[in-house]
Structure 1
Amino acid sequence: MKRLIGLLGVFSLAVLSAFTPADAGGKESGGADTVHALGLSSKSSGNSERRDPEFVEDAYVVSMGDSYISGEGGRWRGNAYGTNNFDDRDAVPQDVDLQQTDRTRRGTTLKKIYGNTWMYKDSSGRNQPGCHRSDVAEVYGAKDTTIKNRHGASVVPVAVNLACSGATTSDMRTSFKGEETSQVGQLEGVASTGKKIRYVVLSIGGNDLNLSDVIKFCVAEYWLIHVGECEKRASDSVKQENLNALKSNLKSLLRKIDADLKFYELTPGFAKFIIQGYPRPFVTTALLGRADGRVQRIHKQGCPFTDLNFSELDALNLRINESLEGWTKESDFWPAGRKGIFMNLRFAFDSHEVCNKHTVISKGTATYDGVTTGEPNSFAKAQSRYEWVRYINHANATSEEGNSLMQESAHPNYEGQLVLQKCLKNVIGKFELSDAYKVYTCHHGDIT
């Protein structure tokens, strides 16, 4: 019955219009919990089957998956650790960091950044970190380009963010973090109301391999707790049996999404897949900015790892990206009749990772790159020497707020999100010109 109702919706006289983000510093949405905005604001667009030149039918770009595409970390405009100059990171981060880099202290509300996805209540009524879909999530970069709709007309796409921080491949098919419907179910809901989906952009796999636990044990090892566990956990996470399971789950997920798209598509194969890898959040040992003493590495740099751990984390990132890319090259990986490509993000933040010696921190003054109020209004503001990844936050893990702050650690911050937006925009531009499989590599937003 649900599908019958949805199918009838495809041929309705009015096609609901999804929430459309507004421009600001790259692209920001007018509210982050995009899935809840779908269908709430509508416009009459005439008969969806009209083909006269005046009719322009929308096309949608939908992001799905985990925290590396949900917009996690978009609250923070760089990192700050010190007091009155670029290089003093001696002070404990909290107050200076909040004052100088927290967008909620600079005229942007937490509601505007994360919408209703900052926290959710678990079964016991306790607040837990939510999906963290931010207003500067990667998918909004699609608004900077044009794509072909089903009738061949060039249109500015509508961006929809369904991704949820912490999601695994199986979580995408079930209710998760207080969401009423799974990500797959939400995608079907978008398609069933007549919205024509052109691209599904997917970031998934890191949580299947328990990468957050690896990082936790690496931090613990830095404090001489669980010595040796960082290397062991990193190695175990990418054991061949775990990678095989992830590959199988990912292929099954793609086929489920494909089946749902086919049911509502009026033009077979109209939607395309973009699977992306993971950017490298931490610097390599060779480019590590030095701090004097063990305590200073966390207070001055926000990266409590040993030199060996940096190498282990880099090797882990490489293995995951190589695996994802390799699978997408196999002929039976993609659902039959569905085009797909791989977006390599490993070097997207090159020289702007946490603790890279070439980066600087936010000024401990009332200004941010000379801007004292409001938000910078161009991507050029991100082309600076700031770190593009949120540092490891050692907030109070026993508090509800602290848990959400810690969840943002090691994720692209506001600047990093703008870079990812540009990566996606440029990849979509390439994919529009050719359906052929290809690996596109992003560096600072530029594509090769």
Structure 2
Amino acid sequence: MIGFRNVSKDRARSRARRLAGAGMVLPLAVGALLAGGAGTAVAGPGTGPTAVVSMGDSYISGEGGRWKGNSLTNSANRTGTDRAWVSGSSYDPAKVYGTTAGGCHRSDSAEVKSAGAIADVAVNLACSGAVSQNVFRASNGGVSYKGEAPQADQLAAVAASNNVKVIALSIGGNDLGFADIITDCALDFALWNSYCYDDQQEGVDRKIDGVMAGVGKSVDEIRAVMRGAGYTDSSYRIVLQSYPSPIPRGAENRYTQSDWSRLNTGGCPFWNRDSDWARDSLVPQIANRIKGVAAAKGVQFLDLRDMLQGREVCAKASKLVSTSTPASAKTSEWARWIDSSETQGLIQESMHPNYFGQLAAGRCLALAVAQPATANVGCKNTAGSDQSGMYLSPVS
């Protein structure tokens, strides 16, 4: 946790309590449509500008897109990592998140915006902190969120004014309590000197069936909206994606767990055992269950579990940004570290793909869309390369 660096153990524990109190948020007004880039002309299936739409939570909305790697420098542009820097000690998150700064956090580098020319228009309806109910139509149990109508209701307007070809969906992480899991595991390292994996696994197992039911209903709600707008199921595709791991395995962490460097320097306060559980048990469990939903609903599955391999926070294969190591997609971390004291930005940005990670996710989406709609694929990075090195592998 960045706020803990170079402090005593007692002060670290005090600030850890702040983390527990603050929590971490993981992860249609007309204005939202305009911010997303939706067209205004009357169109629909087969006519008008083609559109790619993203729906769901913070992992696809663009949370964390403000940051180009992580740096220990707290002043000015944070050694080139802070894209919201204006001048001196002035920062404007709206440079990255536009009118959604402090809310849905839809970044200018979000996956749907970084996917390139896969459609004429890119519309980002996803919202940081969203759960499945925020995707459902209001008429079928959907709930408004952060001043916006449920995302499926927003989609109806987009589908009427554009020829929607691709809908990318990332949902379920907040329903599962992913932010609480991260918080509890960080506190067990910083405060309680204990492991979190056993208790957390029990909680995941209790919740996951209900969570996946919500993911499946989200797909059904999207289908219902599109059919209501005159689209056939084969006239567009839904890409249902899983989540990447923002932290590495214990053996792949460049900081030892035997001192406070993971807390004070790296922003990755997790024990090796808990890190291994998150990377090799939790993330695959979620991915495999989402894959099952995709198969049951007949939509394309994009597996992102390995997207950040070697680029995670504290990974040995990546580096902090410094004056001698500039921000670069080839050397910097692709996920945002934990900044519990909010000395740099907001804590809700923690543990999300950053600017570099979002460019990579966009490339993954573009590659997936270039495949047949029935092709389930995983997306991985090439060591030492930028987002252009992303590649697909088949998922059985």
Identical columns (%)? 32
2:391 maps to which residue? 446
1:15 maps to which residue? none
Between 255-264 and 267-276, the greater mean CA deviation after superposition? 267-276
Matched, 1:211 2:157: no
Matched, 1:324 2:315: no
2:57 maps to which residue? 66
Corresponding residue to 2:332 among 380, 386, 411: 386
Q: Any idea what the Cα deviations from partners look like across 1:355-386, whole Å, max 9, x if unmatched?
A: 11121111236x845xxxxxxxxxxx52x121
Distance apart, 1:342 and its partner CA: 0.3
Residues 268/406 of structure 1: CA separation in 2 closer, same or farther (3 Å cut):
closer
Contact 1:143/1:157, CA 8 A, preserved across alignment: no
Number of equivalent positions: 346
TM-score computed with the length of structure 2 as normaliser: 0.79
Matched, 1:141 2:114: yes
What is the correspondence of 1:252-271 to structure 2 with a 5 Å cutoff? 252-267=217-232, 269-271=234-236
Residues 232/50 of structure 1: CA separation in 2 closer, same or farther (3 Å cut):
closer
TM-score computed with the length of structure 1 as normaliser: 0.71
For 2:132, give the aligned amino acid. Answer: T
Matched, 1:414 2:355: yes
For 1:198, give the aligned amino acid. Answer: K
Structure in which a larger fraction of residues adopt helix: 2
RMSD across aligned C-alpha pairs, in angstroms? 2.8
1:306 maps to which residue? 271
Distance 1:64 1:254 in 2: 10
1:162 maps to which residue? 125
Residues 41/439 of structure 1: CA separation in 2 closer, same or farther (3 Å cut):
closer
Distance apart, 1:238 and its partner CA: 2.2
What is the correspondence of 1:7-406 to structure 2 with a 5 Å cutoff? 35-37=33-35, 42=40, 57-81=48-72, 94-95=74-75, 98-105=78-85, 109-119=92-102, 130-145=103-118, 156-173=119-136, 174-192=142-160, 194-225=161-192, 227-228=194-195, 230-239=196-205, 241-267=206-232, 269-291=234-256, 294-314=259-279, 315-329=281-295, 333-334=296-297, 340-364=299-323, 368=326, 382=329, 384-396=330-342, 405-406=346-347
Larger radius of gyration: 1
Distance 1:49 1:273 in 2: 17
Distance 1:69 1:275 in 2: 11
Q: Any idea what the Cα deviations from partners look like across 1:171-219, whole Å, max 9, x if unmatched?
A: 2234444223111111112123x32211110001111110110110111
Residues 102/176 of structure 1: CA separation in 2 closer, same or farther (3 Å cut):
farther
Distance 1:48 1:277 in 2: 31
2:10 maps to which residue? none
Residues 50/442 of structure 1: CA separation in 2 closer, same or farther (3 Å cut):
closer
Distance apart, 1:132 and its partner CA: 0.8
Distance 1:143 1:100 in 2: 24
For 1:143, give the aligned amino acid. Answer: G
Q: Which runs of 5+ in 2 are unaligned?
A: 1-30, 137-141, 382-389
The alignment partner of 2:162 has SS state of coil
